[in-house]
Chain A
Amino acid sequence: MIQGNPIRILTVDDHPVLREGIAAILATEADMSLVAEAGNGHEAIEQFRTHRPDITLMDLQMPVMSGGEAILAIRREFPDARIIVLTTYSGDVQAERALKAGACGYLLKNMLRKELVETIRVVQSGRKRIPPEIAVELAEHHADDALTEREIGVLRQVASGNANKIIADNLQISEETVKAHMKKILSKLDANDRTHAVAIALKRGIIEL
């Protein structure tokens, strides 16, 4: 069973119990070895530099420094770093963002039990691994026009419950422009109204709660 070196793994998550769970799973695999743990993006970068793991399991939402930023930073320094994203919520836009940042795998936390080991092996072998449901979501929206930064900004304001007039004030644009953005957002997200648009955006990870 043991052949050559085990796969060296770094886990990054701000919840210790979850890290313990992952450690327990990894301990059952003879060809995997957990070399370090980190509780936020900063620690992740440091641990990565120290241990140079083969695989990094990275949570996205963390205090101090988010997973997304950490992925970018690590990949900038170590372009070969193989990083698998761990997240609670699905959402194609969030996944796409992570993949663009250089993640090689994507895992929802409720899939860890069944998919973790397999995903690690696939990514270690140099391939990418994305769960089918997220792949479907990604494909479904692949042809969609992505929301521009400005549109996301407007949508964030809408999600905070602001009326067009206030959004216009906050973003220093005219109310007409806000309305035009809103129209675009509704059509891009295929939403009925602004509330629906916010719900879709939250679901797809375009904006965060």
Chain B
Amino acid sequence: MKFLLANYFNAGRSLTLTFAFLIALILGGNGLVIWQFRVVNRQTDRLTGVSQQLLAVQQLQEQLFTLHGRLDEIAHSRDASRLVTEAQPLLGSLLEQTQRTRNTFTYLPSEISADSLDAIDVTLPRQLQGITALAKSGDWEAVNLRLDNQLKPMEAQISALVSSINNAVNTHMTQAVATMESLQSRILLIVPITTILTFLLAAFFGWSTARRIIELRIDERIQERTRIARELHDTLLQDVQGLILKIDAIAKRMPKADPAREDIEKTLDYADHVLAEGRDRIRSLRTVAVPDSELPAAFQQIAEELSPDRTATLKTVVEGSVQRLHPVIHEECYSIGREAIINALKHSEGRNIEVEIIYDDWEFRLRIRDDGRGINADVLEKGGRAGHWGLQGMRERAHRIGAQLEVWSGSGTGTEVELTVPAAAAYKSPSGKSADSRSRIPAAG
């Protein structure tokens, strides 16, 4: 069972590869979309980071200004005790803010150096101590001088930091906008492509399934035909023959004058006749010898053998790249083509026969044209004179393989026969797995 299933779903190497390729593309497309979200995420993280840094540094700057202002005011009032009661708490919250600001630089991604914060941490308390000492000693001139010389540069540093962070925010903003835009266009490209690929995969899957089904059906039909022929020959034919003999023996035991005996014998005569006919039909089930070669060569061979003196010429034109046909299709196409060529040579008495073999992606076409007498309309309509033209047989063959057969002809205008087989049925699957189309039935016995 396992083997059987594997066989049933064997799509062949290149089909499987195509499937794998399509699935890989679809997975890749979806992966790309997810990757895009990651890119966006990183961009927003960075943007949030710089804005928080900006906020923190701005607050720090403000507190620094406040401290400076207060110190100036105290210097004006020349009250050294206020330096301790008012400036110290301000310094404390300033240092806290510095720490917070530093944290935003430590924990958030940043390309800006926060070194200038160290100046506040380390120097500011020491400077304030120095200033306090000077104030207590009453040297307010020196205090004013220090405030100017030492706090101003610090403010300048922080301002520089603010403006550099501001720049960074602007840069990131621009980058984010650009990223979003390219992301939008990428997603607008990836999503439709993935959709199309998914659709393709589905279509391809459907197509290959349909094709496999047709193939299996044809294989099964052939196997069935062979099996039926064998069974008919081996059992039915022989057994019925035996039964006829038995009945005959029974009839022979009846009195000669009995009218029933004559009836039975007449019936048995008919049975013999029916059986002989059945026997010939079974034999004809599989008697076509189809060359294994490609159709163009095979048709050329027919023409050579049919017209050895070359009174008629057969020209074969092949369009598209020659492909291997499914054995059953090959057999039926060959038989139909053969019949058409024989018609053209023998009945139509054409001089020039043109065989066109078209290996299209969507269908396989076989066209046979001659410049002979043509078939007149009512023969064409009736599907061929009995025993002639073989049009009926050609139609039946075409119908069997799901192909279309069209015949155009008029008296004196030659004949054109066109056979069209859908690609899914016509071409041999790449797996190369198909029933042996030439299984035998046992010979005479």
Chain A residues close to B by CB (< 8 Å): 13-22, 24-25, 27-28, 59-62, 87-89, 91, 94, 109-113, 158-166, 182-183, 186, 192-195, 197-199, 202, 205, 208-209
**B233-292 interface (Cβ within 8 A of A):** 233-235, 237-239, 241-246, 248-250, 252-253, 268, 272, 275-276, 279, 283, 286-292
Q: Which B residues are CB-close (under 8 A) to A166?
A: 292-293
Q: Which A residues are CB-close (under 8 A) to B248?
A: 21, 24-25, 113
With contacts A18-B238, A199-B287 taken as known, whether A193 is within 8 angstroms of B305 at the C-beta atoms is yes
**B388-419 interface (Cβ within 8 A of A):** none
**CB pair A28 B289 closer than 8 Å:** no
- Cα A96 to Cα B305 in complex, Å, equals 28
Judged by DSSP, the binding face of A is helix
Partner of A164, one of B268, B301, B443: B301
- A to B CB contacts below 8 Å, 12 in the list: A14-B445, A15-B239, A21-B244, A21-B246, A88-B444, A158-B289, A161-B289, A161-B290, A182-B305, A193-B301, A198-B287, A202-B287
Closest 9 CB pairs between A and B?
Answer: A61-B445, A21-B245, A208-B443, A21-B242, A163-B293, A24-B249, A89-B444, A17-B242, A198-B289
Q: Does B134 contact A (CB under 8 A)?
A: no
**B430-445 interface (Cβ within 8 A of A):** 437-438, 440-445
Q: Which B residues are CB-close (under 8 A) to A160?
A: 289, 438
With contacts A21-B241, A202-B283 taken as known, whether A62 is within 8 angstroms of B445 at the C-beta atoms is yes
**CB pair B238 A209 closer than 8 Å:** no
For A59, A113, A202, which residue has the most chain B Cβ atoms within 10 angstroms?
Answer: A113
Closest partner residue, chain B, to A202 (CB atom): B287
Partner of A110, one of B243, B252, B275, B445: B275
Closest partner residue, chain B, to A205 (CB atom): B444
With contacts A88-B233, A194-B305, A198-B289 taken as known, whether A110 is within 8 angstroms of B444 at the C-beta atoms is no
Q: Does B373 contact A (CB under 8 A)?
A: no
- Cα A50 to Cα B242 in complex, Å, equals 26
**CB pair B443 A61 closer than 8 Å:** yes
Q: Which A residues are CB-close (under 8 A) to B302?
A: 193-195
* A-B interface pairs (CB < 8 A), number: 147
Partner of B238, one of A15, A89, A192, A208: A15
* Least Cβ–Cβ distance between B214 and chain A, in angstroms: 22
* Least Cβ–Cβ distance between B410 and chain A, in angstroms: 26
* Least Cβ–Cβ distance between B435 and chain A, in angstroms: 14
**CB pair A87 B268 closer than 8 Å:** no
**CB pair A24 B245 closer than 8 Å:** yes
Q: Which A residues are CB-close (under 8 A) to B272?
A: 110-111, 113
* Least Cβ–Cβ distance between A95 and chain B, in angstroms: 10
With contacts A19-B242, A163-B292 taken as known, whether A192 is within 8 angstroms of B249 at the C-beta atoms is no
**CB pair A161 B292 closer than 8 Å:** yes
**CB pair B301 A15 closer than 8 Å:** no
* Least Cβ–Cβ distance between A156 and chain B, in angstroms: 10
Closest partner residue, chain A, to B291 (CB atom): A163
Closest partner residue, chain A, to B229 (CB atom): A209
**CB pair B288 A195 closer than 8 Å:** yes
With contacts A25-B248, A113-B268 taken as known, whether A89 is within 8 angstroms of B442 at the C-beta atoms is no
Q: Which A residues are CB-close (under 8 A) to B312?
A: none
- Cα A109 to Cα B444 in complex, Å, equals 11
Q: Which B residues are CB-close (under 8 A) to A159?
A: 289
* Least Cβ–Cβ distance between B344 and chain A, in angstroms: 13
Closest partner residue, chain B, to A18 (CB atom): B242
Closest partner residue, chain A, to B248 (CB atom): A113
* Least Cβ–Cβ distance between A57 and chain B, in angstroms: 12
